[in-house]
Amino acid sequence: MFVATPLREQLARVQGDRLRVLVVGAGVAGLTLAQALRAGGLHPVLLERAADHADSGYMLALMPLVEPALRLAGVREAYRARSVRFHRYVLHGRHGQRLRGYAIDSLLSRYGEYRGIARGELMQALAEGGAAVSYSSTLQSLRQTPAAAHAVLREGDATLEGEFDAVVLADGLHSASRELLLPAEQVSTFDCSWGGWVAWMDSDAEYADRGDEIWGSDFFVGVYPVLGRAGVFVGGHRDDTRAGPRAFVAHIRRQLRHADERMLRALAAVASSDDAPYFWKLTDIRSAAWAVQRTVLLGDAAAGFVPTAGIGAGMAMESAGVLAQRLLAADAGGVAVVLRDYEHTQRPRVEAAQDNSRALTKLMCRRSPALAAMRDVVARFVTLKAVLGPIRKLLESAPG
């Protein structure tokens, strides 16, 4: 459960800690880190720009990469209770025809479970047992010295100051605090010019552990299992999606000759949503450096992901767990060295995963009937081992 806590109260608690930590951003990465530090006996100050955690967001498929962080935070069972096993994956051709099915977790079981979860459910799982957070709060300025990091914070109309041994900036892809650490030219953007809508639909027992995707000639449709329902993503080039979800879904329907009932219901969920469905631009960022003195970037603020490989949230949680372990073992005087070492070991790993997501995006985000036809032919012969090759490498080399 999230516990809305006055910022002044959090600042008072952290003063008694042997390591005073400020976490900016209570999204997946920041919350995972804060809860792991709390499980280790610290009282990190956790800020969130938004007024609450009401937004349920989108669906996530999480690799076994997340399990060490979940165990460290003491919420593994809460996570399992709010998620479902993601066992089967079915790939459909450009006209909706079934090309190939995979038991997608069969090659991952030795590392742990591959599970589907709604972002809102993940946040609630991470907050199991209580998560103090100061809402409507931001980092206004940051001054670092060899002895401490001095932060000016704002909560509503009030301005407060705090002194910290470590500051973690985890406020997302469009981080407002990152500019306090890095000049704009040290943050690069990747944009494939595609985007799409996220919606939800009812599921049933037959599909409770199954995901489906259609890679079309100028569109993409994905359906992914979460607890009690399924998440839907329908996307295409942003020039094509400007007409709106109903028009774009109609465009897709005209190309589908063999679509099954589930995929048709997924399209209907986007086209007939009572509320305007959330539109997700497929862009990411990469920061040229993560650690500067006593401050470090984490999660999407350091390296955001396009969702094509389904690995971004998992890498953010893995990174949060690794960083938490380093900070829990650190003393105040050694923080700068610990953060540099964390970046040295974790950044190449995260960027390799990001490269894989970008490569898949370049393959998916094309408007070419010829390429789509070629993909359909090749997909029939691609083995599961080949599909999961990059992911298995990450799992095999996961931090101990």
What is the pLDDT tens value at each position of the chain, 400 positions in all? 999 999 999 999 999 999 999 999 999 999 999 999 999 999 999 999 998 887 667 899 999 999 999 999 999 999 999 999 999 999 999 999 999 999 887 778 888 889 999 999 999 999 999 999 999 999 999 999 999 999 999 999 999 999 999 999 999 999 999 999 999 999 999 999 999 999 999 988 899 999 999 999 999 999 999 999 999 999 999 999 999 999 999 999 999 999 899 999 999 999 987 567 789 899 999 999 999 999 999 999 999 999 887 899 999 999 999 999 999 999 999 999 999 999 999 999 999 999 999 988 888 888 889 988 998 898 888 887 777 788 888 888 888 6
The predicted pLDDT at position 382 comes to: 80
The predicted pLDDT at position 360 comes to: 87
Two tokens at 80?
């399992």
Q: What is the helix (H) or strand (E) element at residue 239, kind and residue range?
A: helix 238-241
What is the C-alpha to C-alpha distance for residues 240 and 222, in angstroms, rounded to an integer? 18
Two tokens at 100?
């190939």
The predicted pLDDT at position 275 comes to: 67
Q: How many Å separate Cα 152 from the centre of its chain?
A: 28
The predicted pLDDT at position 277 comes to: 79
Contact of 234 with 267, CB cutoff 8 Å: yes
**How do residues 254-267 score in pLDDT, each as one tens digit?**
999 998 999 999 99
In the numeric block, the tokens 């900036």 are attached to: 169
Q: Which pTM does this prediction carry?
A: 0.96
The predicted pLDDT at position 274 comes to: 59
CATH class of 90-112+189-282+364-392: alpha beta
Q: Which residues of 311-329 are buried (b: 16+ CB within 10 A; e: fewer)?
A: bbbbbbbbbbbbbbbbbbe
CATH assignment, 2-85+113-188+287-362: 3.50.50.60
What is the C-alpha to C-alpha distance for residues 361 and 198, in angstroms, rounded to an integer? 17
Contact of 284 with 173, CB cutoff 8 Å: yes
The predicted pLDDT at position 29 comes to: 98
Where do the domains of the chain lie?
2-85+113-188+287-362, 90-112+189-282+364-392
The predicted pLDDT at position 390 comes to: 81
What is the C-alpha to C-alpha distance for residues 214 and 175, in angstroms, rounded to an integer? 32
**Over the chain, what is the mean pLDDT?**
93
Comparing 2-85+113-188+287-362 with 90-112+189-282+364-392, is the CATH topology the same? no
